[in-house]
């Protein structure tokens, strides 16, 4: 029986993966680091301390992880406010599900970004619990961020559904013991072995309200 639904944010609620890539690559070049073709996939799903550490150590960005985080978040918020990259159908799907279940967000984005996105989309009141991976010990694909969201919701993993788009996120939700619905990110599609962990795969978030298991 489904008692709660927990959403990833980037790639599920907003089409932001490409914006993250552009901002981090641009900052790396601007500050004299060396971008790698694999960098975005390497950082996908990592917590803030993890990806900022990667940019500092692996990409050679000559700033502290804390400074890198502040600069990236500032640029992302400016981009979101100028042109919110909300995925078509998200607002309707979230509001339909909020009328039926408590909802959560379990995201690799920072707390500041989560709050900014929900405010921009007018969906803040739809979510009972929101968790950033910077608030737990490990980022995705570890299950920590999902387990914390479920703790706040007061729901057991077996009674909750996760909505994810990438391989690391699918693995995290599956490791938490949740029912997983995947809506694959067309720009960064999950590997077949990760997608196989999902209980259901949808083409669009438009289909989500009718896909939640009883």
Query: Please, which residues have CB within 8 angstroms of residue 186's CB and are 6 or more apart in sequence?
Result: none
Catalytic-residue membership of 10: yes
Catalytic-residue membership of 8: yes
Question: Rounded distance, CA 39 to CA 29, Å?
Answer: 13
Q: What are the structure tokens assigned to 101, written together?
A: 């279940």
In the set 8, 21, 144, 165, the catalytic residue is 8
CB 96 within 8 A of CB 211: no
CB 162 within 8 A of CB 173: yes
User: What residue ranges in 55-211 does DSSP mark as E strands?
Assistant: 103-107, 129-132, 160-164, 179-182, 200-201
CB 202 within 8 A of CB 211: yes
In the set 10, 21, 144, 165, the catalytic residue is 10
Question: Which residues are designated catalytic?
Answer: 8, 10
């Amino acid at each position: 029986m489904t008692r709660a639904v927990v959403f990833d944010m980037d790639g599920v609620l907003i089409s932001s993966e490409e914006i993250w890539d552009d901002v981090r690559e641009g900052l790396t070049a601007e500050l004299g680091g060396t971008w790698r073709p694999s960098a975005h996939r390497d950082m996908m799903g990592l917590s803030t301390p993890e990806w900022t550490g990667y940019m500092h150590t692996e990409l050679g960005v000559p700033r502290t992880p804390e400074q890198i985080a502040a600069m990236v978040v500032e640029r992302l918020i400016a981009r979101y406010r100028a042109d919110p990259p909300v995925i078509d159908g998200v607002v309707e799907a979230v509001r339909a599900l909020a009328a039926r279940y408590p909802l959560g967000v379990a995201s690799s984005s920072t707390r500041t970004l989560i709050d900014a996105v929900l405010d921009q989309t007018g969906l803040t009141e739809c979510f009972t619990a929101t968790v950033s991976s910077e608030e737990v010990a490990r980022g995705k694909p570890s299950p920590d961020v999902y387990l914390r969201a479920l703790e706040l919701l007061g729901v057991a993993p077996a009674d909750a559904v996760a909505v994810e788009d990438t391989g690391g996120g699918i693995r995290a939700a599956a490791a938490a013991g949740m029912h997983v619905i995947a809506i694959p990110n067309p720009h960064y599609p999950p590997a077949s072995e990760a997608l196989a962990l999902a209980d259901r795969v949808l083409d669009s978030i438009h289909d989500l309200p009718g896909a939640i298991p009883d």
